[in-house]
């Protein structure tokens, strides 16, 4: 029995359709694996959201190329953790105030600057997705690099809270490839570590935190909690070098596991010292910390320095405090500190003074008053020429895949 012409045509179209579907599936599989192997590609959220397929509605037997796929993907522009064009200017802000992001941007990215830094505290029990989505959205839009400082961990439950915090922070699209984390704050000072400065306890928590965050995402860039480097061992705090030595004794090599060094080089005494001073009570205290790490603890790694707090207290505030220098002098000190110390030191990656705004009695550290009007030192630093930073930022791309018959 002969097969009719119509049936032959039907089976030919059916076989052609099947071949094209199989070839499409194969090419999708190959492209998917190719994308996953690309070291510069970082999928954001669900990998399926990265792919958009557009297929012609009708096939023409006369056309050789019948299917077009457009694959969209997200990646970071490069992977150099110490990019050369780096804008070191930064400011300590808070996630809860939207206006703070705009105020910080106008300072750190002023006068030619781009991609300055902000320090943002993060409560490890805070899982408010909407709030933090807004935070990261602001960071991306305003070209700000965040340094997230952990706080408020429950010592008795630190393992669970650490993993939850790492997984939560990893949900969001970060503005640059590296996700800077400072693991708590001044643990050698009783005021900031549960009324006891326990070096062994903090070393264990730091070690665990580094491991868990790196397991969740290798792009987390882990730093210590900056120490109160000018404190002494007086029952209320522990000398930071003594504290660091005990940490290393408890967890051998703990400082070799860091990616960067967080430091609080305040100008002492009374947050009023000269910008030209040196040593542990000065704005160059990080130099003594790095020397101690190398000479006393045998740390060979060259750790980039992130100054997560620093600055002078000024007399002006809700109540005038004459023991602090006036704002005019503070503005002069900051200008000297940046131009003659921090900007010239290649070890320093970012300087984030404390703080954009704080309630009394700590309002003397504020960069804006209660009406959000900037103090003079804000305006003076705003005028300093800055660098257009070139960090590994978010980029998008797309590629067309043609499935053609030969």
Residue 185 and residue 119 in one domain: yes
Of residues 10 and 72, more confidence is placed in 72
Q: Are 198 and 249 in contact (CB under 8 A)?
A: no
Residue 296 and residue 185 in one domain: yes
Residue 24 and residue 112 in one domain: no
Query: Per-residue pLDDT tens for 63-87?
Result: 566 556 778 888 999 999 999 999 9
What are the tokens at 343?
């900007």
Q: Which domain holds residue 253?
A: 90-382
Residue 62 and residue 101 in one domain: no
How far apart are the C-alpha atoms of 198 and 190, rounded to whole Å? 9
Residues in the chain: 406
> In which band, very low, low, confident or very high, does the pLDDT at 263 lie, cut at 50, 70 and 90?
very high
pLDDT of residue 337: 98
How far apart are the C-alpha atoms of 204 and 206, rounded to whole Å? 5
Q: pLDDT at residue 21 above 60? A: no
pLDDT of residue 44: 40
Residue 388 lies in a domain: no
Instruction: Classify burial at 151, counting beta carbons within 10 Å of its beta carbon; exposed 0-12, middle 13-18, buried 19 or more.
Output: middle
Range 40-47 average pLDDT:
40
DSSP string, 158-175: HHHHHHHHHHHHTTSPPS
Residue 52 and residue 97 in one domain: no
Query: Per-residue pLDDT tens for 122-141?
Result: 999 999 999 999 999 999 99
How far apart are the C-alpha atoms of 367 and 259, rounded to whole Å? 29
What are the tokens at 274?
């000269």
> In which band, very low, low, confident or very high, does the pLDDT at 25 lie, cut at 50, 70 and 90?
low
For tokens 């002969």, the residue is 2
Handedness of CA 166, 52, 77, 352 (dihedral sign): negative
Of residues 256 and 27, more confidence is placed in 256
Q: pLDDT at residue 205 above 80? A: yes
How far apart are the C-alpha atoms of 125 and 150, rounded to whole Å? 10
- The residues near 232 (Cβ < 8 Å, ≥ 6 apart) are 239
Q: pLDDT at residue 191 above 70? A: yes
Residue 45 and residue 130 in one domain: no
Domains identified in the chain, total number: 2
How far apart are the C-alpha atoms of 153 and 259, rounded to whole Å? 22
Torsion of CA 148, 286, 256, 216, to 10 degrees: 10
Give 45-64 as a 3 state SS string.
Answer: CCHHHHEECCCCCCCCCCCC
For tokens 């860091």, the residue is 258
Residue 221 and residue 310 in one domain: yes
Residue 60 and residue 115 in one domain: no
Q: Are 302 and 286 in contact (CB under 8 A)?
A: no
Range 319-344 average pLDDT:
98
Range 188-216 average pLDDT:
97
Of residues 1 and 388, more confidence is placed in 388
State the CATH number of the domain containing residue 188. Answer: 3.20.20.80
For β-strands 305-307 and 261-263, DSSP reports them as parallel
Residue 82 lies in a domain: no
Instruction: Classify burial at 160, counting beta carbons within 10 Å of its beta carbon; exposed 0-12, middle 13-18, buried 19 or more.
Output: exposed
Of the candidates 346, 375, 187, 355, the one whose C-alpha atom is nearest the C-alpha of residue 271 is 355
Range 326-340 average pLDDT:
98
Q: Which H/E stretch holds residue 151?
A: strand 144-151
Q: At what angle do helices 240-250 and 285-295 cross, to 10 degrees?
A: 30
Residue 50 and residue 166 in one domain: no
Range 318-345 average pLDDT:
98
What are the tokens at 359?
């309630």
**Would you tell me how many other CB atoms lie within 10 Å of the CB of residue 178?**
19
Q: Are 227 and 246 in contact (CB under 8 A)?
A: no
Buried b (16+ CB within 10 A) or exposed e, 308-336: bbbbbbbbbbeeeeeebbebebbbbbbbe
Q: Is 348 helix (H, G, I), strand (E, B) or coil?
A: strand
Residue 83 lies in a domain: no
pLDDT of residue 397: 86
Residue 361 lies in a domain: yes
Cross-sheet strand order for the sheet of 348-351: 261-263, 305-307, 348-351
Of residues 18 and 291, more confidence is placed in 291
Residue 389 lies in a domain: no
Q: pLDDT at residue 60 above 80? A: no
DSSP string, 296-330: TT---S-PPEEE-S-----S-SSS--TTSPPHHHH
Residue 47 and residue 95 in one domain: no
């Amino acid at each position: 029995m002969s097969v009719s012409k119509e049936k032959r045509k039907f089976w030919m179209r059916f076989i052609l359709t099947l071949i094209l579907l199989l070839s499409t599936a194969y090419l999708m599989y190959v492209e998917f694996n190719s994308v996953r192997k690309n070291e510069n590609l970082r999928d954001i959220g669900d990998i399926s959201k990265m792919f958009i397929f557009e297929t012609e509605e009708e096939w023409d037997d006369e056309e050789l190329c019948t299917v077009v796929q457009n694959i969209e993907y997200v990646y970071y522009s490069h992977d150099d953790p110490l990019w050369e064009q780096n804008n070191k200017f930064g400011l300590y802000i808070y996630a809860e105030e939207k206006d703070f992001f705009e105020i910080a941007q106008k300072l750190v990215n002023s006068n030619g600057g781009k991609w300055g830094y902000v320090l943002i505290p993060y409560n490890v029990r805070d899982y408010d997705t909407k709030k933090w989505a807004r935070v990261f959205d602001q960071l991306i839009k305003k070209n700000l690099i965040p340094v997230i400082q952990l706080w408020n961990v429950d010592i008795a439950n630190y393992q669970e809270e650490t993993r939850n915090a790492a997984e939560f922070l990893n949900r969001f699209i970060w503005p640059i490839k590296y996700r800077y984390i400072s693991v708590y704050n001044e643990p050698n000072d009783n005021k900031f570590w549960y009324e006891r400065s326990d070096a062994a306890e903090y070393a264990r928590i730091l070690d665990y935190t580094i491991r868990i965050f790196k397991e969740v995402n290798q792009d987390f860039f882990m730093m210590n909690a900056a120490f109160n480097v000018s404190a002494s061992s007086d029952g209320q705090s522990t000398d930071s070098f003594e504290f660091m030595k005990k940490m290393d004794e408890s967890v051998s090599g703990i400082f070799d596991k860091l990616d960067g060094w967080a430091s609080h080089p305040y100008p002492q005494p009374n947050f009023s010292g000269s910008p030209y001073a040196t040593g542990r009570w000065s704005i160059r205290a990080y130099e003594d910390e790095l020397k101690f790490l190398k000479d006393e603890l045998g740390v060979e790694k060259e750790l980039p320095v992130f100054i997560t707090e620093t600055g002078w207290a000024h007399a002006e505030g809700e109540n005038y405090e004459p023991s602090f220098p006036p704002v005019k002098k503070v503005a002069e000190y900051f200008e000297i500190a940046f131009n003659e110390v921090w900007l010239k030191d290649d070890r320093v990656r970012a300087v984030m003074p404390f703080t954009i705004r704080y309630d009394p009695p700590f309002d003397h550290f504020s960069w804006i008053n209660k009406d959000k009007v900037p103090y003079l030192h804000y305006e003076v630093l705003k005028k300093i020429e800055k660098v257009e930073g070139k960090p590994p930022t978010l980029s998008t791309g797309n590629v067309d895949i043609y499935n053609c018959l030969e």
